[in-house]
A = this chain, B = another copy of it.
Amino acid sequence: MDSSPAANPPPAEMRRRPGGRSAQVRGAVLAAVRTLLVEHGYDALAVDTVADRAGVHRTTVYRRWRDVGGLLADALDEAADDGWRPPDTGTLHGDLHALNREVADALTADPSLSAALIAASFRSEQAARALRAFWDDRYERCAVVVHRAAARGEIPAGSDPRRLLVAATAPLYHELVLLRSPHDDRLARQAAGYATAAAREGAFV
């Protein structure tokens, strides 16, 4: 990426695609946000540092994202825009277990963007709001897991999807993010098991 758009005209393939230049700048800037966040944490995130890392003019970044909060919010918007759908294994326990494995993998990746974003949410109100919006979106997409289980007769109709999904995933976040427990493969299965057992008993109705 050029560091001085005025002096360096975009290459030919970008001039041929309207919007391509803007999308490419966004891609480079958000990649720089992710890299800096997982490598050095929230303290390393400054608009100037991100711009330099992305090879984009600083004024471009200030104009489009305003501040670090704006950069983090857009990074989460981009992540939410990934067409992700929850697993469909045929049982509630199987779906929750597969979902929890995805959560555990994301939290224990090295480096982990999820863990870095959670840490950032304690420093920036805007990051906290963006993370909440991201999770709300994920809970909405996962509601189908609970509706399918009710349709199969596994759990009572009227079980609240969000409460069930929080109960199923919260022990993983608690152990891996707050208690910093060592990763244990059984945790994803066990937490899926508690939530499934409680759901069968009608605890989420």
Binding site for B on A (CB under 8 A): 118-119, 121-122, 128, 131-132, 135, 163, 166-167, 169-171, 173-175, 177-180, 190-191, 193-195, 197-198, 200-204
Contacts and interface: CB of A to CB of B under 8 A. Distances in A.
B180 A128 contact: yes
Interface of A is mostly: helix
Nearest to A201: B197
Interface centre among A171, A194, A204 (most CB of B within 10 A): A194
Contact of A178 (B118, B167, B204): B118
Contact of A167 (B128, B177, B179, B191): B191
A57 B174 CA distance: 39
B200 A194 contact: no
A41 B90 CA distance: 47
Contacts of A170: 170-171, 173-174
A113 to B, nearest CB: 15
A41 to B, nearest CB: 9
A132 B191 contact: no
A111 to B, nearest CB: 14
A88 to B, nearest CB: 23
Contact of A166 (B131, B171, B198): B171
A4 B105 CA distance: 53
